[in-house]
Amino acid sequence: MGKLTLFIVSDSVGETADLVAKAAASQFRQGLETISMKRFSHVEDESQVAEIVYLAKQQQAIIIYTLVKMNMCLKLKEECQHKGIHCIDLLSPIVNQISLELSEQPLEEPGLVRQLDDDYFKKIEAIEFAVKYDDGRDPRGILKADIVLVGVSRTSKTPLSQYLAHKRFKVANVPLVPEVEPPEELYQIDPAKCFGLVISPEKLNFIRKERLIALGLKDDASYARLDRIEEEIIHFRNVIQKIGCTVIDVTNRAVEETANVILSEIVNRTK
C-alpha cells in the first residue's frame, strides 16, 4: 500500500482543515497509518503559496486548504493547476453560498473563529468565577476580581455579578452586615475596581418584605424592619468611606442600567 501526503494550508492556525483531513483519513482502515499530514499555518503571502505548491509537487501531495482571502484562494488554485496538483478548498464553497444567501460580502479576516472561541471561554471562566465568589463565600476572590461589588442584602449584587460576567468581567460580591467585620481583602484592593451599591431604606423595606412573603414568612421580621435597614445602610457607608470606592444608587435602576454605569466608569478611566 502506497503512502499519501496531505498538505494542510491555512491563513490561521489550520485546526479546521486538520480535523477534516483526519476525519476523512479515519474512514480508511490504515488511513491514519499510511497518510501523513503536514500543516502550513499563517499562510498570508502569495510567495508562500508558490513554495508550498512546489513542495507538494516534489512529494506528490494533495493540498487541503482553508483560506479566507479570495486572492489567496485563486493564487493557490492557479499554482496547483499549473503544477498538476490536486487541491481541495474546504471553506470557499460554504462562504460563497452564505454570501449569496445574506447578500453580504465576507470579511476575509483570518483567525476569526479562534477569536470567537477565546471570547466564549473567557465568558465561561468569568461566569464560573462569579458563582464561586458570590455573596462573600471566599474573600480570596476579592483580590482576583476585575470588579468587586459591595452592598447590603437585596441590592442585586448576584444578578449584577452574572450580568457583568457575561461581559467577560470576573466579579466578586460582598454582603455587608453590621455584626460581621468586612473581609480585610476589601481594604487591600484598588478602590477603582470596587463599587458600592446603595438603595433607599423605603425601597429596600418593600423588597425585603416581598422576599419574606415569597418564602412563606411573616413580613415583620427584623430583616425587613426600617430601623434595621437604616442601621445596615449606616454601616455600609462607613465601610465604603474607608474603602474609598464609587457608590451607585440602585433604587430605581434595573440591573442592566447599573451595569452600564459601572462599565462606563471603567471605560472612562482607561481613556
Q: Each residue of 64-92: pLDDT tens digit?
A: 999 999 999 999 999 999 999 999 999 99
**Residue-level pLDDT at 267:** 87
Residues 35 and 130 grouped into a single domain: no
Residue that terminates a domain, selected from 78, 110, 142: 110
Domain containing 46: what range?
A: 4-110
* Band of pLDDT at residue 28, cut at 50, 70 and 90: confident
Q: Is 36 annotated as ligand-binding?
A: no
* Band of pLDDT at residue 31, cut at 50, 70 and 90: low
Residues 146 and 259 grouped into a single domain: yes
Q: What integer is the mean pLDDT of 183-204?
A: 96
pLDDT at 34 over 90: no
Lookup: cell for 124? 465561561
Q: Is 156 annotated as ligand-binding?
A: yes
Residue 38, H or E segment: strand 35-40
Residues 143 and 201 grouped into a single domain: yes
Amino acid symbol at 236? F
Residues 118 and 74 grouped into a single domain: no
Residues 22 and 134 grouped into a single domain: no
Q: What integer is the mean pLDDT of 145-165?
A: 97
* Band of pLDDT at residue 156, cut at 50, 70 and 90: very high
Q: Is 258 annotated as ligand-binding?
A: no
Residues 231 and 122 grouped into a single domain: yes
Residues 27 and 63 grouped into a single domain: yes
Q: How many domains does the chain have?
A: 2
With vertex at residue 127, the alpha carbon angle to CA 191 and CA 194, rounded to the nearest 5 degrees, is: 10
Residues 187 and 56 grouped into a single domain: no
Question: Residue 128 contacts by C-beta under 8 Å, 6 or more apart in sequence?
Answer: none
Residues 52 and 125 grouped into a single domain: no
The percent of residues in the chain predicted with pLDDT above 90, rounded, is: 82
- Strand 87-89 with 171-175, pairing: unpaired
**Residue-level pLDDT at 271:** 64
Q: What is the largest CA-CA distance in the chain?
A: 87
Amino acid symbol at 160? L
Q: Using one digit for the tens of pLDDT, what is the confidence trace for 200-245? A: 999 999 999 999 999 898 888 899 999 999 999 999 999 999 999 9
Amino acid symbol at 29? R
**Residue-level pLDDT at 32:** 64
Residues 78 and 179 grouped into a single domain: no
Residues 129 and 232 grouped into a single domain: yes
Q: Is 251 annotated as ligand-binding?
A: no
Tell me the whole-structure pTM to 2 decimals.
0.64
**CATH code, domain carrying 58:** 3.40.50.2300
Residue that terminates a domain, selected from 69, 89, 110: 110
Q: Using one digit for the tens of pLDDT, what is the confidence trace for 94-113? A: 999 999 999 999 999 888 87
Residues 127 and 211 grouped into a single domain: yes
**CATH code, domain carrying 239:** 3.40.50
Residue that terminates a domain, selected from 62, 82, 110: 110
pLDDT at 1 over 60: no
Q: How many CA atoms lie within 13 A of 148 on its CB side?
A: 29
CA 111 from centroid of its chain's CA atoms: 16
